[in-house]
């Protein structure tokens, strides 16, 4: 059954809804990342055509009745980062939605088709989409989202002020907008989500239609942040992500294995995904346009009450691409915003907040939407977050200056007593004579201009030149067979008008092309990647309730004799130990490595096994005997494994402890497969009536994240090499290695070149920063920190996204002074070291 899933425990929703209660593993034809103007359409059209679709959305699922019309409640729910989304100099506020339906839920519903000039320019840049395709797609979308022109009786007073202003200045090309709204309730709060569901956003149209189509197969996962795209040899096979609660904590994980993956998360988020996963390196993130927009507010003696009615209903096209301006140009659009957004927008004016609110009913407002060149770029910060860098060019400044001049003149002509601007140097104009000062301020002090942007576009340009562009005209990523990016990020230039209809039309065309060429993709095998989700095949990732549940429904699949390990305890590669560098998996038959549930409370349960443990078995005649050893102890508890069956447990392997004081304990094991078993530990009474202590899992196959110090030694010596300097550049996250516990990410390294020399900035534990110098030795990359020669790092590379290292000293007292737990200290000949692994961010 088609379903929307999320983390919140909603009681009643219009669409079929289920709360996520554990990790998720999916296999499907198509995985779409992002449920906005493009993603929703792609998901619907592909599922209508018979493909099984999984749609991932980072934001939450909210319906009309959740929109309570209050800025401070709705912005955290619907807006990316609660509305605080800026360029890196905080000069441009970028409005983006983060919820099911994306920015279409919070936008003003303005619909302009892609202008002819823009289509022609894009074609010259290598975008092979015909006029006929654009027209058909635009018509199809317009019908689906009910695009209609604003009626004269729907023009609110803010729009009428703009209209009057245009007429007074003798401007002629201005008219009411078209919007995707049916019988708008004119509440004026489009930015806070439509309580009445008259705005035809993606959620109430395409997503609703997809979910309710009985012939479609679609599952929508909200509160789900896609983070990793697994690819090899030009084939993307799976997406890994996290489910986040309302405070941003990871609560569960998801892996989606798909034939085809489409990234449709918007300019910034799509680029983030590409950069983070090293896709389209050197091309992704370049050429970002923003439609930067200043606002100009007129303060009038009479009331206007501009919040009453459709916020964006009227536009002056005279200077824009819609009136034939081919290079740059701008639109003037009437707009009004709710009071908190108004307060934030006017924060740079220096006018007292209370005074601003006192005059709220007397303001008229319009903005200048500038068709900018792609002056910006998106990169990743040291912590791996997206950073937007943007600079206005002369053309943009000239257009902004012209636009604000026109609006300011309009307001004064209509009787404004003052005009409020978004330039810090000239926030208030007292008369028309001061407009020239504003124009000069814009041109000469652009760094003090505060702007808005609701239309980030570009960053992953579409075109035919695969050395410069990220996607081709099918939105397929160059170099990949089955990976697509389809959203505003592929626009080769700014479109010049509010872009949602263009994005939707592009998604329609792309979906049709994918459907037409489906045979190419149908033959791609769906992989079986498990990522880090809880599964019976990898129970070390499971929380207690999942582990308990899996144990209860299983019987042992294999007999006790299959517990036998290698006769040799030393690592002999190829015989009892192996390392798969492609999957980063260790196969260790020396013993069964024990794992607690990932949410197991070690401290409060005060387990003997608090540090982790292993079990090792050998045949003795017809029986199988073993030892259990908690790491870091001298305990080797002898036991015998006996196949048996107990009521309520099914077929199990009884692990009977033989010697005091352990004979009052026993385990009941269930072998899942030759490498995996589940177990429960008991005490106090005879089996099967003992007191249950804990549930655990054991494995002979595990990820490098769980490597022991013995594993580390072999990998470091035999499976890793000295890296080249250029290979390590970038950011890495590090974990300490112990036999016992899986440590969290404890530190970050950032390698960079400083005047040709490789250096490393580190931060340990989130609060101890520093810089290390480096040196290449014959076998290692060496690093030296504030300890000088007392301690140093030795690093080797396993593969380009994984390194192993050790932080060593001859003086054992130093490590103790660092406060490192004994579990993490490794003897290395005469030295003591802290071994660790590094994963590239």
Q: Please report where in the chains the tokens 């890793």 appear, as a residue.
A: 720
Instruction: Provide the CB-side half-sphere exposure for 623 (13 A, CA).
Output: 9
- C-alpha–C-alpha distance, residues 127 and 145, integer Å: 26
540 is a contact residue toward another protein (CB under 8 A): no
Residue 820: count other Cβ atoms within 10 Å of its Cβ. Answer: 16
Number of chain positions touching another protein (CB under 8 A): 80
B/e letters for 164-181, b = 16+ CB within 10 Å, e = fewer, are ebbeeeebeebebbbbbb
What is the residue-wise DSSP string for 117-131? HHHHHHHHTT----H
Find the shortest distance in angstroms from Cβ 311 to another protein: 11
| Footprint of another protein on 286-315 (CB under 8 A) | 301-305, 307-309
What is the spatial distance between Cα 20 and Cα 26, in angstroms, rounded to a whole number? Answer: 13
**Least distance from another protein to the Cβ atom of residue 448, Å:** 8
Whether residue 630 contacts residue 613, with contact meaning beta carbons closer than 8 Å, is answered with: yes
Q: Helix or strand or coil: residue 352?
A: coil
CA gap 580, 559 in Å, rounded: 28
Min dist CB 304 to another protein, Å, is: 6
Residues 356-385 that bind another protein (CB under 8 A): 357-358, 360-361, 381, 383, 385
Distance CA 533, CA 550 (A): 14
348 binds another protein per the rule CB under 8 A: yes
Is residue 347 a contact point for another protein (CB under 8 A)? yes
Residue 597 has what DSSP assignment?
-
Judged by CB under 8 A, does residue 209 bind another protein? no
Quote the CA–CA distance of 215 and 47 in Å, as a whole number. Answer: 8
Site string for another protein, 688-727 (x = CB under 8 A): ----------------------------------------
Find the shortest distance in angstroms from Cβ 569 to another protein: 49
The reply on whether position 8 binds another protein by CB under 8 A is yes
SS3 of 278-311:
CCCCCCCCEEEECCCECEEEEECCCCCCCCCCCC
Shortest separation between residue 64's beta carbon and another protein, angstroms = 8
* Residue 526 DSSP code: P
Minimum Å gap between C-beta 521 and another protein is 37
What length is written for the chain?
Answer: 841
Whether residue 703 has a cis bond before it, omega within 30° of 0: no
Q: How many CB atoms lie within 10 A of CB 663?
A: 13
Closer CB to another protein, residue 149 or residue 664?
Answer: 149
Residue list 57-76, contact with another protein (CB under 8 A): 60, 62, 65-73, 75-76
Residues 137-156 that bind another protein (CB under 8 A): 153
Comparing CB distances to another protein, the nearer of 54 and 189 is: 189
67 vs 495 by CB, closer to another protein: 67
Q: Within 13 Å, how many C-alpha atoms sit on residue 285's CB side?
A: 24
- Distance between CA atoms of residues 39 and 460, nearest Å: 16
Q: Considering only residues 34, 39, 83, 446, which one is a binding residue for another protein as defined by CB under 8 A?
A: 83
Q: Is 12 in the site for another protein (CB under 8 A)?
A: yes
Looking at 31, 100, 147, 161, which residue binds another protein (CB under 8 A)? 161
To the nearest whole angstrom, how small is the minimum distance from the Cβ of residue 5 to another protein? 16
Interaction of residue 171 with another protein, rule CB under 8 A = no
- The answer to whether residues 371 and 320 touch, using CB atoms and an 8 Å cutoff, is yes
Measured between alpha carbons, how far is 234 from 422 in angstroms, rounded to an integer? 47
Q: Where are the beta strands (DSSP E) in 174-223?
A: 174-176, 178-180, 217-221
What whole-number distance in Å separates Cα of residue 507 and Cα of residue 104?
14
88 versus 828: smaller Cβ distance to another protein: 88
Q: 606 Cβ partners below 8 Å, 6+ apart?
A: none
Q: Which of residues 671-690 bind another protein (CB under 8 A)?
A: none
Helix runs in 371-432, H state only: 394-413
Nearer to another protein, 191 or 719 (CB): 191
Minimum CB–partner distance for residue 86 and another protein (Å)? 6
Least distance from C-beta 81 to another protein, angstroms?
5
Q: Which of 125, 171, 182, 571 binds another protein (CB under 8 A)?
A: 182
In the complex with another protein, the residue whose CB is nearer, 385 or 786, is 385
Cβ(124)–Cβ(145) under 8 Å? Answer: no
Q: What are phi and psi of 361, to 5 degrees?
A: -75, -10
Cα-Cα-Cα-Cα dihedral sign, residues 96, 98, 104, 105:
negative
* CA nearest neighbour of 310 among 145, 164, 198: 198
160/707 with CB nearer another protein: 160
188 scored as a contact of another protein (CB under 8 A): yes
Beta carbon of residue 276, minimum distance to another protein (angstroms, whole number): 16
| CB of residue 339 to another protein, shortest distance in Å | 6
**Judged by CB under 8 A, does residue 20 bind another protein?**
no
For the bound state, the minimum distance from the C-beta of residue 83 to another protein, rounded and expressed in Å, comes to: 7
Considering only residues 790-819, where is the footprint of another protein by CB under 8 A?
none
Distance CA 85, CA 81 (A): 6
**Segment interacting with another protein, rule: CB under 8 A, options 132-140, 160-168, 236-244, 591-599:** 160-168
Which part of the chain contacts another protein (CB under 8 A), choosing from 122-130, 177-185, 536-544, 652-660? 177-185
Residues in 237-256 at the binding interface with another protein, rule: CB under 8 A: 246-247
- Least Cβ distance, residue 153 to another protein (angstroms): 8
Out of 2, 10, 518, 635, which residue is the one contacting another protein (CB under 8 A)? 10
Q: Minimum distance between the CB of residue 761 and another protein, rounded to whole angstroms?
A: 15
Tokens of 418: 């003052």
86 binds another protein (CB under 8 A): yes
Selected range binding another protein among 179-187, 479-487, 493-501, 676-684, rule: CB under 8 A: 179-187
Residues numbered 326-345 forming contacts with another protein, rule: CB under 8 A: 338-340, 343-344
Give the list of residues 6+ apart from residue 834 with CB closer than 8 angstroms, or none.
736, 806, 807, 808, 815, 820, 824, 825, 826
Shortest separation between residue 446's beta carbon and another protein, angstroms: 11
**Candidate list 1, 143, 354, 603; residue touching another protein; CB under 8 A:** 354
Nearer to another protein, 341 or 460 (CB): 341
CA 526, 532, 535, 537 torsion: positive or negative? positive
Q: Which of 77, 110, 495, 795 binds another protein (CB under 8 A)?
A: 77
Q: Which of 353, 568, 775, 800 binds another protein (CB under 8 A)?
A: 353
> In DSSP terms, which residues pair with 93 in a beta bridge?
86, 452
Measured from the CB atom, is 246 or 572 closer to another protein? 246
Reduce the DSSP state of residue 157 to 3 states and report it. Answer: helix
Residue (of 11, 22, 3, 8) closest to 534 by Cα position:
22
In the bound state with another protein, the residue whose beta carbon lies nearer, of 299 and 472, is 299
- Distance in Å, CB of 180 to another protein, minimum: 12
* C-beta of 68 vs 718, nearer to another protein: 68
Query: What is the nearest approach in angstroms of another protein to the Cβ of residue 452?
Result: 13
| Window 593 to 632, contacts with another protein (CB under 8 A) | none
C-alpha distances in angstroms, 716 versus 179, 732, 800, 803, 804?
Answer: 62, 17, 15, 9, 6
d(CA 276, CA 259) in angstroms, rounded, equals 21
Q: Site residues for another protein, window 449-488 (CB under 8 A)?
A: 450
Beta bridge partners of residue 377, listed in sequence order: 286, 389
Q: Is 195 in the site for another protein (CB under 8 A)?
A: yes
Interface mask (CB under 8 A) for another protein, residues 406-445, using x and -?
Answer: --------xx--------x---------------------
């Amino acid at each position: 059954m088609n379903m929307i899933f999320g983390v919140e425990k909603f009681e009643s929703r219009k669409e079929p809804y289920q709360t996520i209660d554990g990790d998720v593993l999916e296999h499907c034809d198509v995985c779409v990342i992002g449920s906005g103007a493009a993603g929703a359409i792609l998901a619907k059209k592909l599922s209508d055509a018979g493909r099984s679709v999984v749609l991932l959305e980072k934001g939450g699922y909210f319906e009309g009745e959740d929109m309570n019309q209050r800025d401070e409640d709705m912005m955290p729910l619907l807006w990316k980062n609660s509305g605080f989304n800026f360029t890196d100099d905080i000069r441009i506020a970028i409005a983006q939605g983060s919820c099911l339906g994306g920015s279409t839920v919070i936008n003003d519903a303005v619909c302009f088709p892609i202008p002819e000039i823009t289509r022609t320019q894009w074609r010259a840049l290598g975008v092979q989409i015909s006029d006929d395709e654009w027209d058909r797609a635009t018509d199809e979308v317009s019908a689906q989202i009910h695009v209609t022109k604003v009626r004269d009786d729907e023009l609110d007073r803010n729009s009428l002020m703009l209209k009057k202003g245009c007429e007074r200045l003798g401007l002629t090309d201005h008219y009411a907008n078209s919007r995707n709204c049916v019988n708008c309730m004119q509440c004026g709060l489009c930015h806070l989500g439509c309580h009445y569901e008259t705005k035809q956003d993606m959620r109430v149209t395409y997503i609703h239609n997809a979910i309710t189509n009985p012939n479609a197969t679609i599952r929508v996962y909200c509160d789900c942040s896609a983070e990793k795209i697994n690819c090899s040899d030009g084939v993307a096979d799976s997406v890994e992500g996290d489910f986040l609660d309302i405070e941003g904590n990871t609560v569960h994980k998801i892996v989606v294995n798909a034939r085809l993956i489409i990234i449709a998360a918007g300019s910034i988020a799509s680029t983030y995904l590409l950069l983070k996963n090293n896709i389209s390196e050197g091309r992704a993130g370049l050429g970002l346009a923003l439609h930067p927009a200043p606002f100009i507010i007129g303060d009038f003696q009479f009331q206007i009450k501009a919040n009453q009615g459709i916020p964006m209903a009227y536009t002056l096209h005279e200077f824009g691409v819609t009136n034939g301006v081919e290079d740059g140009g701008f639109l003037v659009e009437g707009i009004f915003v709710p009071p908190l957004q108004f307060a934030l927008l006017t924060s740079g004016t220096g006018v007292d907040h209370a005074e601003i609110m006192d005059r709220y009913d007397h303001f008229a407002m319009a903005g200048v939407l500038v068709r900018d060149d792609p002056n910006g770029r998106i990169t990743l910060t040291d912590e791996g977050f997206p950073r937007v860098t943007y600079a206005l060019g002369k053309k943009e400044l000239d257009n902004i200056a012209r636009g604000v001049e026109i609006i300011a003149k309009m307001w004064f002509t209509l009787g404004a007593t003052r005009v409020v601007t978004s330039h810090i140097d000239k926030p208030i104009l007292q008369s028309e004579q001061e407009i020239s000062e504003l124009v000069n301020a814009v041109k000469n002090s652009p760094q003090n201009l505060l702007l808005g942007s609701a239309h980030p576009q570009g960053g992953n340009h579409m075109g035919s030149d695969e050395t410069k562009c990220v996607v081709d005209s099918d939105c397929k990523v160059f170099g990949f067979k089955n990976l697509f990016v389809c959203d505003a990020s592929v626009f080769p230039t700014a479109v010049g008008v509010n872009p949602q209809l263009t994005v939707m039309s592009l998604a329609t065309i792309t979906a049709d092309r994918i459907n037409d060429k489906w045979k190419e993709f149908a033959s791609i095998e769906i992989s079986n990647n498990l990522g880090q989700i809880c599964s019976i095949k990898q129970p070390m990732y499971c929380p207690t309730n999942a582990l308990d549940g899996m144990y209860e429904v299983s019987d042992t699949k294999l007999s006790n004799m299959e517990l036998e390990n290698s006769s040799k305890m030393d690592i002999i590669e190829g015989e009892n130990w192996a390392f798969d560098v492609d999957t980063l998996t260790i196969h260790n038959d020396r013993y069964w490595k024990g794992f607690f549930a990932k949410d197991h409370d070690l401290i409060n349960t005060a387990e003997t096994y608090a540090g982790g443990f292993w079990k090792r078995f050998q045949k003795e005649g017809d029986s199988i005997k073993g030892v259990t050893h908690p790491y870091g102890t001298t305990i080797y508890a002898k036991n015998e494994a006996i196949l048996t069956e107990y009521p309520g447990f099914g077929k199990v392997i009884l692990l009977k402890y033989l010697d005091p004081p352990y004979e009052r304990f026993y385990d009941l094991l269930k072998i899942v497969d030759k490498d995996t078993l589940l177990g429960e530990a008991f005490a106090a009474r005879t089996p099967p009536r003992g007191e249950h202590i804990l549930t655990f899992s054991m494995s002979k196959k595990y990820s490098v994240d769980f490597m022991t110090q013995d594993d580390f030694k072999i990998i470091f010596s035999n499976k890793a090499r000295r890296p080249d300097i250029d290979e390590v550049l970038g950011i890495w996250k590090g974990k300490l290695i112990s036999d016992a516990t899986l440590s969290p990410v404890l530190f970050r390294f950032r390698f960079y070149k400083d005047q040709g020399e490789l250096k490393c900035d580190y931060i340990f534990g989130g609060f101890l920063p520093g810089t290390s110098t480096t040196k290449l030795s014959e076998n290692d990359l060496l690093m030296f920190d504030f300890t000088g020669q007392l301690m140093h790092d030795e690093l080797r590379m396993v593969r380009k996204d994984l390194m192993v290292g050790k932080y060593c000293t001859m003086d054992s007292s130093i490590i103790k002074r660092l406060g490192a737990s004994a579990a993490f200290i490794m003897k290395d000949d005469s030295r003591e070291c802290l071994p660790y692994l590094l994963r590239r961010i």
